[in-house]
Amino acid sequence: MDWLASFLTRRQQRIKITNVYSDWVTLRGGMPQGSWLGPLIFLILIDDLRLHLPTHMYVDDTTVPETVAKAETSQLQIVIDELVSWSAGQLPPREH
């Protein structure tokens, strides 16, 4: 796993506008865009995400759609609360 840590740490980037380059900046997080490893790590990290409403997960994106009838109340606040708890490691994963 040293290769994975090496791939994700001490990454640098800079900006080029016309022929002018910015200084190099060391990134503190993130995944190199366009890598095949990005979507795989995303899926591993969110594998246990189970929310109150159905989720649609594709590559590096998660969507929670909801249709609410006029007489009903939205459940999205519950989903947001669950997501915050899950992110903090306080929500046990739901069964598949």
Establish if 94 belongs to a structural domain: no
Establish if 68 belongs to a structural domain: yes
Domain with 46 in it: 2-87
pLDDT confidence of residue 33: 75
CA 26 centroid distance within chain: 21
Establish if 93 belongs to a structural domain: no
Establish if 41 belongs to a structural domain: yes
Domain tally, the chain: 1
pLDDT confidence of residue 92: 58
pTM: 0.53
Stretches where the chain sits below pLDDT 50 are 96
pLDDT confidence of residue 87: 82
